[in-house]
Amino acid sequence: MNKPLRRVAIFCGLLVLALLVRVNWVQFVQADELKNDKHNRRVAIERYSIPRGNIIVGDKAVTGSTTTDSGDFKYKRTYKDGPMWAPVTGYASQAFDANQLEKLYDPILTGTDDKLFFSRTVDMFTGEKQQGGDVVTTLDAKAQKAAYDGLKGKKGAVAAINPETGAILALASAPSYDPSSFAGMSDDDAKAYNGLLKKNNADDPMLNRALRQTYPPGSTFKVVTAAAALENGLYTDIDAKTDSPLPWTLPDTRIPLPNEGNIPCENASLREALRWSCNTVFGKISADLGNKKMIEEADKFGFNKEHFTPVRAEASVYPEDNRPQNAMAGIGQASNRATPLQMAMVASAVANGGTLMKPYMVDKLVAPNLNVIQQEQPEKLSEPLKPENAQKLQDMMETVVKTGTGTNAQIPGVTVGGKTGTAQHGENNKDNPYAWFISYAKTDKGTPVAVAVVIEGSDTLRGDIAGGKLAAPIAKAVMEAVVNGNK
């Protein structure tokens, strides 16, 4: 081989080598990055090339798929009772991606997850088309409907948990939206989606208020403050008088902390203070314990960290603060913020004898051949209360419902514990307060449900806004749905 020809051969060899290196780099190093790139249209085409698997409640699918003639997408997502289930399912849209369970379990629903390798292999040999798996939730359809119906015409949220397992039974948010309205990629889908965005809709219907919105918890937080008093030995007898003068002045200030109305709060016992929701008693408890101990107890109930259900829930916050602000935080005001899920966790821990279970909303993942490929197991999250102190708090919360501010939550033949809350907010408290209610129901078979309800806005006159009036009836309906379903 002469010299020029040899040089051409070497050059061609280098080109082939460079090509091999590049191909292998793309195939084995950049494969996942390219596959998951949001600009890779092939991913979206593949996602909607088959009917997606379904999200299941009970034994019924709340999602579906239908054929479409929009471009190169063969199928699009459909939803049954979309607005009711949107806080659980999220959405899957040809044009606007997906969120919540639809996003988190996209590989299962599209059949591309490694857990479905065996199923895909069988399909390849049998000539069957690839199929998606199903996501089976822990939700209770009747409890969800009770929560959704109770929120109609209002702005707010409901979260319900099985205290014994942590399984989420209801997760409603209002106003809501129908994910079907923008599941495709037409101009109408785009108009519907843009109309739901916060910048175009002040009601922000796509906000999952049960998981992602924090509110001042108001007097419902007094359950945590009472727990802190019992756990730290500040008081042990819930029927003994407390050291609670009336009026009581916030520490380091000359500002008296008012109660709501002329209620018997002077040196009131813990039981009577919770029954009448005495700000002075619980504000002083928080001040006596101090900021550090209050944070420690709130942390045990799940405050100050995000929770993954697996959909992310915003962190509720019991703040580091000065003495007067810490006293206000002890009655659920100041910088104290909580999600409805968090307050359902508080009621759940009390109802479950002081043990807080990790909240979760997916029971299992199922392959197209109905084999279970992943089963969720209940998991303990913490123990914010000793069993004897949990029993004392149950006695106190049940007094609230029997003869206190929570009588609207009474259910004949069922033991109900609860706590009302009316949380002030806005500059100088000028805005309508939030109405709260947290509760649990006990039967001879156990404690199947704990609920938190918050009403952020309604047509109710400001003077009539109270947790016992607005939120307690909704909690009662949810508890009844669960209890009657377990009979």
Question: Of 301, 257, 85, whose CA–CA distance to 173 is shortest?
Answer: 85
pTM of the model: 0.91
Question: Of 73, 68, 69, 66, whose CA–CA distance to 41 is shortest?
Answer: 73
Residues in the chain, total = 487
Which residues have CB under 8 Å from 424's CB, separation 6+?
216, 218, 333, 433
Q: Active-site residue among 219, 269, 286, 439?
A: 219
Is 181 designated active site? Answer: no
Question: Of 316, 402, 392, 299, whose CA–CA distance to 354 is shortest?
Answer: 392
The CA-CA-CA angle for residues 337, 231, 290, to 5°, reads 55
Cα–Cα distance measured from residue 206 to residue 376, given in angstroms and rounded to the nearest whole number: 28
Collapsing DSSP to helix, strand or coil, 424 comes out as coil
Residue 182 in tokens: 């923008």
Cα–Cα distance measured from residue 199 to residue 458, given in angstroms and rounded to the nearest whole number: 22
Q: What is the pLDDT along the chain (487 residues), one digit of tens a residue?
A: 677 788 888 888 889 888 888 888 877 777 777 766 767 777 778 788 889 999 999 999 999 999 987 678 899 999 999 999 999 999 999 999 999 999 999 999 999 888 888 777 777 777 677 789 999 999 999 999 999 999 999 999 999 999 999 999 999 999 999 999 999 999 999 999 999 999 999 999 999 999 999 999 999 999 999 999 999 999 999 999 999 999 999 999 999 999 988 899 999 999 999 999 999 999 999 999 999 999 999 999 999 999 999 999 999 999 999 999 999 999 999 999 999 999 999 999 999 999 999 999 999 999 998 899 999 999 999 999 999 999 999 999 999 999 999 999 999 999 999 999 998 776 666 677 899 999 999 999 899 999 999 999 666 655 555 677 889 999 999 999 999 987 6
